[in-house]
Structure 1
Amino acid sequence: MRLQTKRLELIPYSPEIIEAAINDKSRIESLLNLKVPEDWPWEEVLDAFPVFAELASDPTQQNWGAWLIIHSLDKTIIGDLGFGGKPDEQGKVEMGYNIIPNYRNQGYGFEAVQALVNWAITQPNLKKIVATCPADNLPSIRILEKLGMHCVEKTPALLTWEKGV
């Protein structure tokens, strides 16, 4: 499954894409016919690849893991987004996202996250989406506000946001 927006395409990670991202990024270029920027993936995304691989390999978790954000015109990976797995017993999922620096502050983050949230709210058993962001990350705060999420917890370093569906 892929999601298309006006300027972006969202592609779920597969085990093959994850293996290539870890071991040989040039394979992604040939697998998906995309440009792979030098500054992708981020260290924190690399650290999460074992979890992404587990989710991508589990048919019950299909599409509830990580997704690539592709700039349609440039045919370039510009970020990642996704969930930490399917909704839990309370119907809650945690969402995260990141855009590479050259593509920030152009509306791509909101466009990508909105598309994934729009897909997620059509899925059974989902009741709440949760996201966290650094307290000083104003672009992320704006994205979460535009999505209709509400800040439910504040620490000096981190904000926690929720959206009921």
Structure 2
Amino acid sequence: MSALLDGDLSGASRMAGVELTEYFVTDRARWLWQFRLDQMAADPGHARWMVRQAVVGDKGLVVGHTGFHGPPDEAGMVEIGYSVAPDFRRQGYARSTLVELLRRAAAEPAVTTVRAAISPGNVASLATVSGFGFVEVGEQWDEEDGLELVFEVPARRFTRRAHDEDSPGR
């Protein structure tokens, strides 16, 4: 993330082991890298919960980034975040990324609830979460994104066994 903040895309790609795209050095992405680095500096144990690249297929195609906003809170809630680069949108990558985030959350014993906070105008993300059992529980104001609708779903719904019995979208 430090290399990305410095605009060193090739160095960041070498360190990540995959070819990152210009999407990772946009102003919006750089804000995220700084925010996450500050979080990890405050508590290095949070690093495993933070953002990572979303990689698809055997050739390591990087379509965006994904992760959690931090470790589970005292109630067991984690908030997800994902972003797909414009060239890869509307191809199912956001849905696939969401499936993996939900499976990862369900595999963590400390996680009981998964939250998604989405701008009311982000029609694509609202559609992405709609088939996964998320329920709108309120709204919040985000200093970076403005008004967000808050959705939650029990993490246990996405364990391997629960997924086999009641897969998302059913």
Match of 2:63 in 1: 78
Match of 1:12 in 2: none
Structure 2 unaligned blocks of 5 or more = 141-145, 156-170
Distance apart, 1:30 and its partner CA: 2.4
Match of 1:22 in 2: 5
Please state which structure has a larger fraction of its residues in helix.
2
Where relative contact order (Cα < 8 A, 6+ residues apart) is larger, the structure is 1
Choose the corresponding residue for 1:141, options 120, 126, 147.
126
Distance apart, 1:41 and its partner CA: 3.8
Distance apart, 1:110 and its partner CA: 0.8
Structure 1 residues 69 and 85: CA distance shift in structure 2, 3 A: same
Q: Deviations over 1:39-66 (max 9, x none)?
A: 3344333212234225556553252111
Larger radius of gyration: 2
Q: Percent identity?
A: 23
Root mean square deviation of aligned Cα: 2.4
In structure 2, how many angstroms separate the alpha carbons of the residues matched to 1:53 and 1:157?
A: 24
Aligned residues: 148
| Aligned residue type for 2:19 | K
Distance apart, 1:73 and its partner CA: 4.9
8 Å CA contact 1:39, 1:100 repeated in 2: yes
| Aligned residue type for 1:20 | A
Which TM-score applies when normalising by structure 2?
Answer: 0.75
Structure 1 unaligned blocks of 5 or more = 1-17
8 Å CA contact 1:78, 1:100 repeated in 2: yes
Give the alignment of 1:22-101 within 5 angstroms. Answer: 22-23=5-6, 24-54=8-38, 58=43, 60-73=45-58, 75-101=60-86
8 Å CA contact 1:37, 1:76 repeated in 2: no
